[in-house]
Protein backbone atom coordinates (compact mmCIF):
# COMPACT_ATOMS: atom_id res chain seq x y z
CA UNK A 1 0.00 0.00 0.00
CA UNK A 2 2.46 2.58 -1.24
CA UNK A 3 1.37 5.75 -3.01
CA UNK A 4 4.37 6.83 -5.05
CA UNK A 5 3.75 9.86 -7.25
CA UNK A 6 0.16 10.28 -6.04
CA UNK A 7 -0.81 13.36 -4.07
CA UNK A 8 -3.03 12.22 -1.22
CA UNK A 9 -5.29 14.58 0.68
CA UNK A 10 -3.89 15.67 4.05
CA UNK A 11 -5.62 15.97 7.40
CA UNK A 12 -5.42 19.74 6.90
CA UNK A 13 -7.21 19.42 3.54
CA UNK A 14 -9.98 17.42 5.16
CA UNK A 15 -10.24 19.85 8.10
CA UNK A 16 -10.83 22.69 5.63
CA UNK A 17 -13.61 20.68 3.98
CA UNK A 18 -15.08 19.72 7.35
CA UNK A 19 -15.21 23.34 8.50
CA UNK A 20 -16.79 24.75 5.34
CA UNK A 21 -20.46 25.71 5.13
CA UNK A 22 -21.57 22.69 3.08
CA UNK A 23 -23.66 20.07 4.93
CA UNK A 24 -21.78 17.19 3.32
CA UNK A 25 -18.30 15.78 2.70
CA UNK A 26 -17.22 14.35 -0.65
CA UNK A 27 -15.96 10.77 -0.26
CA UNK A 28 -15.05 7.89 -2.51
CA UNK A 29 -15.88 4.21 -2.20
CA UNK A 30 -12.97 1.79 -2.01
CA UNK A 31 -13.48 0.66 -5.61
CA UNK A 32 -13.81 -3.13 -5.25
CA UNK A 33 -14.37 -3.34 -9.00
CA UNK A 34 -11.46 -1.01 -9.67
CA UNK A 35 -13.57 2.14 -10.16
CA UNK A 36 -14.10 4.21 -6.95
CA UNK A 37 -17.44 6.04 -6.84
CA UNK A 38 -17.80 9.60 -5.55
CA UNK A 39 -20.57 10.14 -3.01
CA UNK A 40 -21.69 12.93 -0.70
CA UNK A 41 -21.83 12.03 2.99
CA UNK A 42 -23.92 14.19 5.34
CA UNK A 43 -21.75 15.61 8.10
CA UNK A 44 -24.59 14.80 10.52
CA UNK A 45 -24.20 11.08 9.69
CA UNK A 46 -20.45 11.27 10.19
CA UNK A 47 -20.91 12.95 13.57
CA UNK A 48 -23.40 10.32 14.71
CA UNK A 49 -21.09 7.49 13.66
CA UNK A 50 -18.06 9.11 15.31
CA UNK A 51 -19.96 9.67 18.56
CA UNK A 52 -20.93 5.98 18.69
CA UNK A 53 -17.30 4.86 18.27
CA UNK A 54 -16.06 7.37 20.84
CA UNK A 55 -18.55 5.99 23.37
CA UNK A 56 -17.84 2.36 22.46
CA UNK A 57 -14.08 2.66 23.05
CA UNK A 58 -14.15 5.25 25.82
CA UNK A 59 -12.21 7.86 23.83
CA UNK A 60 -11.57 11.15 25.63
CA UNK A 61 -9.30 14.19 25.44
CA UNK A 62 -6.63 12.07 27.15
CA UNK A 63 -6.71 9.46 24.36
CA UNK A 64 -4.32 9.06 21.44
CA UNK A 65 -5.64 7.93 18.04
CA UNK A 66 -3.31 6.50 15.38
CA UNK A 67 -3.94 7.18 11.70
CA UNK A 68 -1.81 5.21 9.18
CA UNK A 69 -4.54 5.54 6.53
CA UNK A 70 -5.30 8.05 3.78
CA UNK A 71 -8.01 10.62 4.47
CA UNK A 72 -9.07 10.17 0.84
CA UNK A 73 -11.23 7.30 2.14
CA UNK A 74 -13.85 7.01 4.83
CA UNK A 75 -11.73 5.12 7.39
CA UNK A 76 -9.19 7.94 7.49
CA UNK A 77 -11.83 10.68 7.51
CA UNK A 78 -13.70 9.09 10.41
CA UNK A 79 -10.58 8.79 12.58
CA UNK A 80 -10.16 12.54 12.16
CA UNK A 81 -13.76 13.25 13.15
CA UNK A 82 -13.47 10.98 16.20
CA UNK A 83 -10.41 12.88 17.35
CA UNK A 84 -11.94 16.30 16.72
CA UNK A 85 -15.19 15.68 18.60
CA UNK A 86 -13.49 13.97 21.58
CA UNK A 87 -10.49 16.27 21.87
CA UNK A 88 -8.17 13.24 21.54
CA UNK A 89 -4.69 13.59 20.07
CA UNK A 90 -4.53 12.44 16.45
CA UNK A 91 -1.15 11.05 15.37
CA UNK A 92 -0.76 10.74 11.61
CA UNK A 93 1.55 7.97 10.45
CA UNK A 94 3.03 7.07 7.05
CA UNK A 95 0.44 5.44 4.78
CA UNK A 96 2.36 2.22 4.31
CA UNK A 97 2.21 -1.51 4.94
CA UNK A 98 5.41 -1.14 6.98
CA UNK A 99 3.76 -0.29 10.28
CA UNK A 100 5.61 -0.23 13.60
CA UNK A 101 4.00 0.61 16.94
CA UNK A 102 6.52 2.38 19.15
CA UNK A 103 4.23 4.54 21.28
CA UNK A 104 0.84 4.27 22.99
CA UNK A 105 -2.36 4.36 20.95
CA UNK A 106 -5.80 4.03 22.51
CA UNK A 107 -7.35 3.39 19.10
CA UNK A 108 -5.56 2.47 15.89
CA UNK A 109 -7.34 2.03 12.54
CA UNK A 110 -5.68 -0.19 9.92
CA UNK A 111 -6.45 -2.39 6.90
CA UNK A 112 -5.59 -6.12 6.63
CA UNK A 113 -2.49 -5.52 4.50
CA UNK A 114 -0.95 -3.62 7.44
CA UNK A 115 -1.49 -6.50 9.85
CA UNK A 116 1.57 -8.44 8.67
CA UNK A 117 4.00 -5.75 9.81
CA UNK A 118 2.40 -5.71 13.28
CA UNK A 119 2.80 -9.47 13.53
CA UNK A 120 6.33 -9.65 12.16
CA UNK A 121 7.84 -6.49 13.71
CA UNK A 122 8.81 -5.64 17.26
CA UNK A 123 5.55 -3.75 17.76
CA UNK A 124 4.46 -3.97 21.38
CA UNK A 125 0.83 -5.17 21.76
CA UNK A 126 0.55 -3.50 25.18
CA UNK A 127 0.95 -0.10 23.49
CA UNK A 128 -2.29 -0.61 21.53
CA UNK A 129 -5.48 -0.25 23.51
CA UNK A 130 -7.72 -1.26 20.60
CA UNK A 131 -7.20 -1.87 16.89
CA UNK A 132 -10.02 -1.65 14.37
CA UNK A 133 -9.42 -3.42 11.06
CA UNK A 134 -11.55 -2.55 8.04
CA UNK A 135 -11.55 -2.19 4.29
CA UNK A 136 -11.45 -5.93 3.57
CA UNK A 137 -12.01 -9.26 5.32
CA UNK A 138 -9.30 -10.43 7.72
CA UNK A 139 -8.09 -13.90 6.80
CA UNK A 140 -7.86 -16.67 9.38
CA UNK A 141 -4.05 -16.82 9.48
CA UNK A 142 -3.76 -13.12 10.31
CA UNK A 143 -6.55 -13.34 12.85
CA UNK A 144 -4.81 -16.17 14.69
CA UNK A 145 -1.45 -14.43 14.57
CA UNK A 146 -2.89 -11.23 16.08
CA UNK A 147 -4.47 -13.21 18.91
CA UNK A 148 -1.23 -15.08 19.59
CA UNK A 149 0.73 -11.82 19.70
CA UNK A 150 -1.75 -10.41 22.21
CA UNK A 151 -3.27 -7.59 20.16
CA UNK A 152 -6.77 -6.47 21.15
CA UNK A 153 -8.41 -6.08 17.75
CA UNK A 154 -11.81 -5.83 16.11
CA UNK A 155 -12.81 -6.48 12.55
CA UNK A 156 -15.28 -3.85 11.37
CA UNK A 157 -18.34 -4.14 9.17
CA UNK A 158 -19.49 -1.08 7.30
CA UNK A 159 -19.07 0.87 4.12
CA UNK A 160 -18.54 4.39 2.90
CA UNK A 161 -22.30 4.95 2.73
CA UNK A 162 -22.69 4.13 6.46
CA UNK A 163 -19.78 6.40 7.46
CA UNK A 164 -17.55 3.50 8.51
CA UNK A 165 -18.58 0.64 10.77
CA UNK A 166 -22.06 -0.25 11.96
CA UNK A 167 -20.89 -3.49 13.62
CA UNK A 168 -17.73 -4.89 15.23
CA UNK A 169 -16.35 -8.41 15.53
CA UNK A 170 -13.96 -9.12 18.40
CA UNK A 171 -11.32 -11.25 16.66
CA UNK A 172 -10.90 -13.37 19.81
CA UNK A 173 -14.59 -14.35 19.70
CA UNK A 174 -14.68 -17.77 18.04
CA UNK A 175 -18.35 -17.29 17.15
CA UNK A 176 -17.12 -14.68 14.62
CA UNK A 177 -20.29 -12.67 15.13
CA UNK A 178 -20.47 -9.02 14.19
CA UNK A 179 -22.34 -7.09 16.87
CA UNK A 180 -24.25 -3.90 16.15
CA UNK A 181 -23.14 -0.47 17.24
CA UNK A 182 -25.64 1.35 19.52
CA UNK A 183 -28.81 2.39 17.69
CA UNK A 184 -28.25 -0.03 14.79
CA UNK A 185 -30.29 -3.17 14.10
CA UNK A 186 -30.43 -5.73 11.30
CA UNK A 187 -32.77 -7.84 9.22
CA UNK A 188 -32.39 -9.80 5.99
CA UNK A 189 -34.05 -9.53 2.60
CA UNK A 190 -35.47 -12.48 0.58
CA UNK A 191 -31.98 -13.22 -0.80
CA UNK A 192 -30.59 -13.65 2.72
CA UNK A 193 -28.66 -10.38 2.40
CA UNK A 194 -28.17 -8.00 5.30
CA UNK A 195 -30.39 -4.97 5.71
CA UNK A 196 -29.07 -2.23 8.00
CA UNK A 197 -31.66 -0.34 10.05
CA UNK A 198 -30.28 2.99 11.28
CA UNK A 199 -33.08 5.37 12.38
CA UNK A 200 -30.73 8.22 13.27
CA UNK A 201 -28.94 8.27 9.91
CA UNK A 202 -30.05 9.93 6.70
CA UNK A 203 -30.17 6.62 4.81
CA UNK A 204 -32.44 5.06 7.45
CA UNK A 205 -32.54 1.61 5.87
CA UNK A 206 -29.80 0.22 3.64
CA UNK A 207 -30.02 -3.05 1.70
CA UNK A 208 -26.62 -4.67 1.14
CA UNK A 209 -25.38 -7.50 -1.07
CA UNK A 210 -23.77 -9.31 1.87
CA UNK A 211 -25.10 -12.78 2.65
CA UNK A 212 -25.32 -13.33 6.41
CA UNK A 213 -26.58 -15.67 9.11
CA UNK A 214 -28.67 -13.35 11.26
CA UNK A 215 -28.60 -13.91 15.04
CA UNK A 216 -31.38 -11.81 16.54
CA UNK A 217 -31.64 -8.20 15.45
CA UNK A 218 -28.24 -7.06 16.66
CA UNK A 219 -25.67 -9.59 15.42
CA UNK A 220 -24.80 -11.66 12.38
CA UNK A 221 -22.18 -13.92 10.84
CA UNK A 222 -20.89 -12.69 7.49
CA UNK A 223 -20.81 -15.37 4.78
CA UNK A 224 -19.87 -13.50 1.63
CA UNK A 225 -21.07 -11.31 -1.22
CA UNK A 226 -24.24 -12.25 -3.08
CA UNK A 227 -22.58 -11.44 -6.39
CA UNK A 228 -19.66 -13.77 -5.54
CA UNK A 229 -21.83 -16.85 -4.96
CA UNK A 230 -20.82 -19.80 -7.15
CA UNK A 231 -23.69 -22.05 -8.32
CA UNK A 232 -22.08 -25.43 -8.92
CA UNK A 233 -24.68 -27.98 -9.97
CA UNK A 234 -27.29 -26.36 -7.73
CA UNK A 235 -24.98 -26.10 -4.72
CA UNK A 236 -24.54 -22.46 -3.70
CA UNK A 237 -20.95 -21.76 -2.61
CA UNK A 238 -20.08 -18.40 -1.04
CA UNK A 239 -16.59 -17.63 -2.33
CA UNK A 240 -15.51 -15.77 0.82
CA UNK A 241 -16.72 -18.56 3.09
CA UNK A 242 -14.71 -21.09 1.08
CA UNK A 243 -11.69 -18.79 1.32
CA UNK A 244 -11.98 -18.91 5.11
CA UNK A 245 -11.82 -22.70 4.98
CA UNK A 246 -8.86 -22.64 2.63
CA UNK A 247 -6.75 -19.98 4.36
CA UNK A 248 -5.18 -22.36 6.94
CA UNK A 249 -4.14 -24.64 4.06
CA UNK A 250 -2.62 -22.13 1.62
CA UNK A 251 0.08 -19.72 2.77
CA UNK A 252 0.33 -17.60 -0.40
CA UNK A 253 -2.14 -14.84 -1.35
CA UNK A 254 -5.15 -16.35 -3.09
CA UNK A 255 -8.71 -15.79 -4.14
CA UNK A 256 -11.70 -18.02 -4.99
CA UNK A 257 -13.86 -17.33 -8.02
CA UNK A 258 -16.10 -19.16 -10.49
CA UNK A 259 -15.04 -20.75 -13.74
CA UNK A 260 -17.49 -22.00 -16.38
CA UNK A 261 -18.02 -25.76 -16.53
CA UNK A 262 -20.04 -27.76 -19.08
CA UNK A 263 -21.33 -30.29 -16.54
CA UNK A 264 -21.88 -28.20 -13.41
CA UNK A 265 -22.43 -24.74 -14.87
CA UNK A 266 -19.81 -23.22 -12.60
CA UNK A 267 -17.03 -24.61 -10.43
CA UNK A 268 -14.87 -22.92 -7.80
CA UNK A 269 -11.32 -22.11 -8.83
CA UNK A 270 -8.43 -20.72 -6.81
CA UNK A 271 -6.29 -17.91 -8.19
CA UNK A 272 -3.02 -17.92 -6.25
CA UNK A 273 0.26 -16.05 -6.26
CA UNK A 274 2.47 -19.09 -6.81
CA UNK A 275 4.53 -20.83 -9.46
CA UNK A 276 2.96 -23.14 -12.01
CA UNK A 277 4.86 -26.01 -10.43
CA UNK A 278 3.15 -25.49 -7.07
CA UNK A 279 -0.39 -25.83 -8.42
CA UNK A 280 -0.63 -29.62 -8.20
CA UNK A 281 0.56 -29.77 -4.58
CA UNK A 282 -1.83 -26.99 -3.53
CA UNK A 283 -4.75 -28.73 -5.23
CA UNK A 284 -3.83 -32.03 -3.54
CA UNK A 285 -3.90 -30.38 -0.10
CA UNK A 286 -7.29 -28.86 -0.83
CA UNK A 287 -8.74 -32.19 -1.98
CA UNK A 288 -7.52 -33.79 1.24
CA UNK A 289 -9.21 -31.19 3.45
CA UNK A 290 -12.24 -29.71 1.66
CA UNK A 291 -15.57 -31.44 0.93
CA UNK A 292 -15.44 -32.66 -2.69
CA UNK A 293 -18.71 -30.88 -3.54
CA UNK A 294 -17.15 -27.52 -2.63
CA UNK A 295 -13.48 -28.16 -3.30
CA UNK A 296 -11.86 -25.95 -5.97
CA UNK A 297 -11.26 -27.83 -9.21
CA UNK A 298 -8.23 -25.93 -10.41
CA UNK A 299 -5.39 -23.67 -9.26
CA UNK A 300 -4.47 -20.77 -11.53
CA UNK A 301 -1.01 -19.30 -10.88
CA UNK A 302 -0.55 -15.53 -11.21
CA UNK A 303 2.46 -13.33 -10.56
CA UNK A 304 0.65 -10.83 -8.35
CA UNK A 305 -2.73 -9.64 -7.10
CA UNK A 306 -4.27 -6.25 -7.81
CA UNK A 307 -5.59 -4.46 -4.72
CA UNK A 308 -7.69 -1.41 -3.96
CA UNK A 309 -6.32 1.31 -1.69
CA UNK A 310 -8.04 -0.39 1.26
CA UNK A 311 -6.40 -3.73 0.59
CA UNK A 312 -9.29 -5.49 -1.15
CA UNK A 313 -8.49 -7.79 -4.05
CA UNK A 314 -9.91 -6.38 -7.28
CA UNK A 315 -11.92 -9.46 -8.11
CA UNK A 316 -13.17 -8.37 -11.52
CA UNK A 317 -9.68 -8.43 -12.99
CA UNK A 318 -9.02 -11.86 -11.55
CA UNK A 319 -12.31 -13.16 -12.94
CA UNK A 320 -11.24 -11.95 -16.37
CA UNK A 321 -7.96 -13.87 -15.95
CA UNK A 322 -9.92 -17.03 -15.13
CA UNK A 323 -12.23 -16.55 -18.11
CA UNK A 324 -9.28 -16.34 -20.47
CA UNK A 325 -7.51 -19.37 -19.02
CA UNK A 326 -10.39 -21.80 -18.59
> Which residue, of 152, 173, 194, is where some domain finishes?
173
Let me know if residue 258 belongs to a domain.
yes
Q: Are 152 and 129 in contact (CB under 8 A)?
A: yes
CA distances, 117 to each of 6, 120, 126 (Å): 23, 5, 16
- Phi-psi bin for 88: left (phi > 0), alpha (psi -120 to 50), beta? beta
Let me know if residue 213 belongs to a domain.
no
Let me know if residue 190 belongs to a domain.
no
Q: Answer positive or negative: Cα dihedral of 90, 91, 92, 97.
A: negative
Confidence check: pLDDT of 32 > 60: no
Q: Answer yes or no: do 17 and 166 share one domain.
A: yes
Which pLDDT does position 261 carry in this prediction? Answer: 86
Which pLDDT does position 3 carry in this prediction? Answer: 37
Let me know if residue 180 belongs to a domain.
no
Q: Answer yes or no: do 165 and 24 share one domain.
A: yes
Model confidence at 323, pLDDT cuts 50, 70, 90, reads low
Let me know if residue 163 belongs to a domain.
yes
Lowest mean pLDDT among 16-25, 119-128, 295-304: 119-128
Model confidence at 6, pLDDT cuts 50, 70, 90, reads very low
Q: How far apart are CA 196 and CA 205, in angstroms?
A: 6
Let me know if residue 214 belongs to a domain.
no
Q: Answer yes or no: do 76 and 163 share one domain.
A: yes
Q: Answer yes or no: do 51 and 158 share one domain.
A: yes
Let me know if residue 273 belongs to a domain.
yes
Which pLDDT does position 60 carry in this prediction? Answer: 97
CATH number at residue 264: 3.30.300.30
Model confidence at 137, pLDDT cuts 50, 70, 90, reads confident
CATH number at residue 128: 3.40.50.12780
Q: Answer yes or no: do 70 and 155 share one domain.
A: yes
Q: Answer yes or no: do 23 and 163 share one domain.
A: yes
Let me know if residue 207 belongs to a domain.
no
Number of domains in the chain: 2
What value, to the nearest 5°, has the Cα angle with vertex 129 and ends 101 and 196? Answer: 110
pLDDT in tens, 252-305: 989 899 988 888 899 999 999 999 999 999 999 999 999 999 999 999 999 888
Please tell me which of 116-125, 180-189, 252-261, 274-283 the model is most confident about, judged by mean pLDDT: 180-189
Q: How far apart are CA 34 and CA 309, in angstroms?
A: 10
Confidence check: pLDDT of 35 > 80: no
Q: What is the pTM of this model?
A: 0.83
Q: How many percent of the chain have pLDDT more than 90?
A: 65
Closest CA to 178 of 201, 197, 154: 154
Which pLDDT does position 218 carry in this prediction? Answer: 98
Q: Answer yes or no: do 18 and 127 share one domain.
A: yes
Q: How far apart are CA 127 and CA 136, in angstroms?
A: 24
Domain that holds residue 36: 11-173
Alpha-carbon dihedral 80, 126, 168, 26, rounded to 10 degrees: 20
Q: What is the DSSP letter of 125?
A: G
Amino acid sequence: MEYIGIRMATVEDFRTEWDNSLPYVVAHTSGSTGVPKEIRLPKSDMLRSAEATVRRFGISRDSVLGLPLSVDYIAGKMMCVRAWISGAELVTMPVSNRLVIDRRYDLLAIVPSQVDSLIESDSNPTLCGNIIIGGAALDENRRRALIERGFNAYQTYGMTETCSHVALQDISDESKLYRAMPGISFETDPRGCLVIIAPGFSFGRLVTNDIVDLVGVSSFKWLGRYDNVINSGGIKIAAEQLETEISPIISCPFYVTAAPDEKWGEVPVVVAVCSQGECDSILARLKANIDHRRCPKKIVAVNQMDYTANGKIIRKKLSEIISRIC
